Structure 1
């Protein structure tokens, strides 16, 4: 049996594991469970009624959270020619081509997201075994293989996150920091859920959203009523 620290145990006392909360109440409660000395990330785990074993039921995409994640991501762009200047002007942290590939092959990995123009993918493909397992390989499905480098960099810096179903059909995603106002966390969460609902595979049968759980980096899970995944509109 795992042993939890005193702070976790105190936070756990605030949460009834058997209660399915309304979204608004869950967000307020999860903020109260944050007890670490650092600003904990608020995460949401959503189990979907999909079977990822089938390609037509796998979800993968990206969404820009209206209030960001509370973390500034370091963006690397693989580009040449005029696109180098465009990427630098947009605020990319690292821009280059062959020299970056060599650097990454040597073990360097001081970036959070990689973007590439389509003509660079032949070169970037050499890094598949390195970037793939880390989830850093540029992919057109999430907008990181594109000619619109300015837009890609701006969205990532503004709070764009990627989502992807795991083998069990779960989506794990950050929706902000514990220091965020509850309203901002709710708006980020709602944007994510509405995106997932729009992306529902036609082959998915039965209840689509099976369970929703909020948690902070070091805190216990707070369950949400999956039949009411979107916050009720205030009059």
Structure 2
């Protein structure tokens, strides 16, 4: 493993790796330990006591964070006719049909962060499963990205809607803001995300649901967050 720089070493000293901090203290530490010259992203990494290999233990959804993510999100929409106009009027960055699918497939073009499609365009989008799937970009009804209500979908994404889903190791990774945000803003985004994930607990999940929660900034050390109150709220 590459040797970390002095700034990172200094930051690590401020965090007790064995300790679980309250969410507010964790956010404080994240801001204190973020030393990069750019505005680092604050991320939440949530390990759940479920098995993502089973369909009845999947945890997936989307939520509009109260204060957004601080990131300019580029939205690509597959739609035609009036729906294409609706998407453009709502602020979509790219709107089209098969020509956009061809561009993605033939030119390896990925200048977008979220893909939205109307249900009648899924025949076109379905062919992109192999390229969009591994990048987590495939539209999905559960996350509200397959819909005829394009105006609302695009506006929510632009306002800071984030998708949460399990990876293969049963961990959810979600950006919850930037280091430049106020502590209260990051904390409120974190709380909104955690409330959504607790509510999304599958009936088939047994035992402890929230196994661990870690907050990090892009270049900073991980800070473990206590989940005892969240568990009690379930």
TM-score scaled by structure 2? 0.96
- Who is 1:36 aligned against? 36
- Who is 1:23 aligned against? 23
Aligned residues: 231
- Who is 2:57 aligned against? 57
Q: CA deviation at 1:175?
A: 0.6
CA distance in 2, matches of 1:121, 1:84: 14
- Who is 1:165 aligned against? 166
- Who is 1:118 aligned against? 119
SS in 2 for 1:120: helix
- Who is 2:221 aligned against? 220
Q: CA deviation at 1:2?
A: 3.8
Q: CA deviation at 1:15?
A: 0.6
Q: What is the 5 A alignment of 1:125-136?
A: 125-136=126-137
CA distance in 2, matches of 1:136, 1:216: 23
Q: What is the 5 A alignment of 1:129-208?
A: 129-208=130-209
Tell which deviates more after alignment, 31-40 or 220-229.
220-229
Q: CA deviation at 1:53?
A: 2.1
CA RMSD of aligned residues (A): 1.3
Deviations 1:141-188 (A, max 9, x none): 101000000011001000011111122221111110001001000110
CA distance in 2, matches of 1:227, 1:10: 29
Q: What is the 5 A alignment of 1:46-85?
A: 46-85=46-85
Runs of 4 or more above 3 Å deviation: none
CA distance in 2, matches of 1:20, 1:56: 30
CA distance in 1, matches of 2:135, 2:172: 17
Q: Is the 8 A contact 1:69 1:159 kept in 2?
A: yes
CA distance in 2, matches of 1:25, 1:196: 21
Q: Is the 8 A contact 1:22 1:228 kept in 2?
A: no
CA distance in 1, matches of 2:128, 2:109: 12
Q: What is the 5 A alignment of 1:101-112?
A: 101-106=101-106, 107-112=108-113
Q: CA deviation at 1:228?
A: 2.7
Q: CA deviation at 1:39?
A: 0.2
User: When you count helix as a share of all residues, which structure comes out higher?
Assistant: 2
CA distance in 2, matches of 1:42, 1:229: 20
CA distance in 2, matches of 1:153, 1:71: 15
User: What 5-or-longer segments of structure 1 have no aligned partner?
Assistant: 231-235
Q: CA deviation at 1:229?
A: 3.9
Q: Is the 8 A contact 1:74 1:92 kept in 2?
A: yes
